[in-house]
Structure 1
Amino acid sequence: MKNRQHNINSPGWLLFFYSVPAKPAGSRTKIWRKLNRIGAIKLKGAVYILPYSDEHQEILQWLISELSALGGDGAFVKTKAIEPLTQDEIIQLFNNQCTERYHKLTDKFSALERKTTQYKQNGQPGREKSLALQLNKLQRELSTIQKTDFFTSKFGVELTNRTRSIKNEIEQLTLAQRKKPQTNSIKITAQKREDYQKKTWVTRKNPFVDRMASAWLIRSFIDNQARFLFIDAGHPLPEDGDQVTYDIARGDFTHVNDLCTFEVMQIAFDLHNQALAKLSKIVHAIDLHDESRRYPEAEGVETILKGIQKTASDSDSALKKGMDVIDALYASFIT
């Protein structure tokens, strides 16, 4: 997640002052924790500083209301300078705070790097998922700190790059493991797009992520004049040559081993680019409940698609709305 970087050249700091009754003691702790969570720096006593932004100003306004409810009081002012501190000295205070928080993660990242190296040396099957789960947890912790790294501290940049390196290592290990021959493996036959034009694509009613994403893939990359038809899960499969079944048991395109239908169609039609690769991992994570491969976007996408599924008037409406979400998500990944 990107940090909310403050524009160093723009004037503005927020000084926050507050007082709260000594009892109950929990009230003071509650306010302190909220200030700490948003990245405020304590100057002295009950005086805190934040880079000026509309968001920070709004947060402090709500905090003053909360203080009033607790029997306390608070106020804040916007200022261009805080004597005798220079701009650089104030910025360094924020960077020092972030560096201290980042340092608490370094041992965890080092331990994960050692485990990844041991896995590469010993080749223990199945451990790559455990490594990915650990990385995802650390990435969430890192993302929380990055929200208050207003000036993109050097240590934060280094740790972010280190995270990418570990992630690439684990993804390579996962890919290598998946490419190993399996006794129950089923070969995915290569297909030609010209053989699948102006078809009716048949799938189950009440579509969710895999059917929505697969329909988007079909319309975007395979058959731009595709029509979609919905049948009950137990309905006999159509035998019409102009109809193609997908994401349905014994269909033309469906799950293979641990691959969802979207991934199977990608392979079958040789559809590959960086944006599709990222989208594929999100679809896989949601459809197969595979936490080890989750991206930060997955939870939000899943929530939106569940809302569509619940509110759409019929399967056709749900599919169209879901495809729009997938299309917007794909567009956001294109650089």
Structure 2
Amino acid sequence: MDEEQQIHIPVLLREVIEYLGIKPGMKILDATVGLGGHSRGMLDAAGGEGQVLGLDRDREALSEAGRRLAPYGERVRLVRSRLSRFPAILAETGWEKVDAALLDAGMSSLQLDDPERGFGFLNDGPLDMRMGAEDGGESAEGLINLAPFARLAEIIREYGEDPQAGRIARAIVAAREQAPITTTARLAEIVWQAYPAKWRATARQHPATRTFQALRMAVNEELAELSAFLEAIPEHLAPGGRVAVISFHSLEDRLVKRAFRHEATDCLCPREQMLCVCGHKARFRILTKKPVMAGEEEVRDNSRARSAKLRVAERLPDAGDDSAG
């Protein structure tokens, strides 16, 4: 394994390629291309004939992906874009449908390791957390210093699933009344102090981990972006095409599970209703009854894989469409 591969190891790559059924000639959407690891693996599996359209909000990640995927030439097109805009990008590319789509909801090491981005707290840096800072929008600093107590508590409770959300939000409000909170180290210390001493002593991770996760998800509207992708992707998959989603958070995984189940169900009317009036027809066949998770060897080589969950669904032919064999 070369140094570059060690720095960036795509999670569940073998499983992604197998479940998506990557073959020569496929049109593949990598909706969160990141540093390009999954795209590179899928292009290799396509045997020199597949094409990838890769999207990402992060300009730095997209630049690095472009460097790593340069050997594949015109088989790759990279576009800086929000996840939710993928239908418009497909139209601009001239792709009516794709044969495979992948969404990896995780963070890249490029983002996490740069203190200037503010995603982590191991090294002090400004509280930003925006994946596309050049597009404007509220930063984590703005959110922390301006949001009312109720909103902060809700964000930390919902997105961070932290039972100490109320204590943390109160501590943030009290601290910002003394001076604006502008750095990752100061926020991490505030959260640390807000945690009960007994909880700190037994915590498996730094108490601020969930708060930082929650703020990142809120700043980047990650659940809304994911929901938009899940709602739109069935229309843009060719019959027999497959979509794979890798999530690292229980809220994300539940969204994927519900969306796939919704699209795999014919009638959505209440069970007690005798006749169907909704007219809904299943468009998906779920290929993963339970989420696929990394094995011991992969987790040993890449600790990030420990929390990864992969779900996959296949697009059914529309009524009267025999094009999917």
TM range (shorter): under 0.3
Q: Which has the larger radius of gyration?
A: 1
Relative to total residues, which structure has the larger helix share, 1 or 2? 1
TM-score by length of 2: 0.27
Normalised to the residue count of structure 1, the TM-score between the two structures is 0.26
